[in-house]
Amino acid sequence: MARNILVTGGGTGIGLAIARHFAGLGAAVTITGRRAEPLTLAAEQTGARALVCDHTDPEALIRLVAELPERIDVLVNNAGGNTDFDHGPTDDLAGYARAFRANLDANLVGAALTTRAVEDRLAAGGAVIGIGSIAADTGAGSYGAAKAGLAAWNVALADALGPRDITANVVSPGYIADTEFFRDNLTEDRRRQLVAATSVRRAGSPEDIVGAVAFLASPAARHVTGQVLNVNGGAYKSR
């Protein structure tokens, strides 16, 4: 029986690469996102089913669930990104609050809502995998705070899902090239700094993250849960 895979934010970048991987293995893949155009293109490239959804909106999630399979084997909470790139700086407190909450909604609340919405459909032997960020450990304002919150929330999620034989982990990328993450705000000097910070002296690729996600979704990782797997070329080291 083919596995059912749900990849949020699956229209571009890391999410698209993850969807392509699982579809290539014969899984039934559903990709979601807020923008119909990239989702349609991604579906054509991968054979995945594309459904438009804003994962921060409970009503949108209720509509999404009605379109999903009754069994979900792997949920990849990839939707998100640094929403600070979507608006200019603000000096007033109300604007600061809106900007801070936008990152929390996009990167933490959306993942929690999505998981809660499909929780009853998660199958034994399955996996929930969140896409975090090196910013959770190195700092990046409210974006880093949101990704740190994702890792902390995952600890409780692992305990909640573990008795059902479902694992919950976070993959934490560093700088990944060939994505829309930085919009058009990444200068060449900053790119060189990010690469120089790694031990391997190269940017990561979406395929580097695919490898980690594939492992965590595989039978080889059935005793791995409640963990953060750093994939950053050594830019942030841990022990």
Query: N- to C-terminal Cα distance for the chain?
Result: 39
Q: Spell out the residues 6+ positions from residue 170 whose beta carbon is closer than 8 angstroms to its own.
A: 129, 130, 131, 132, 150, 151, 154, 227, 228, 229
Catalytic residue among 96, 143, 175, 236: 143
Euclidean distance between CA atoms 104 and 149, whole angstroms: 8
Q: Is 96 a catalytic residue?
A: no
**What are the φ/ψ torsions at residue 51 (nearest 5 degrees)?**
-135, 125
| Interatomic CA distance for residues 71 and 169, integer angstroms | 20
Contacts of 135 (CB under 8 A, 6+ apart): 82, 143, 144, 147
Residues catalogued as catalytic: 143
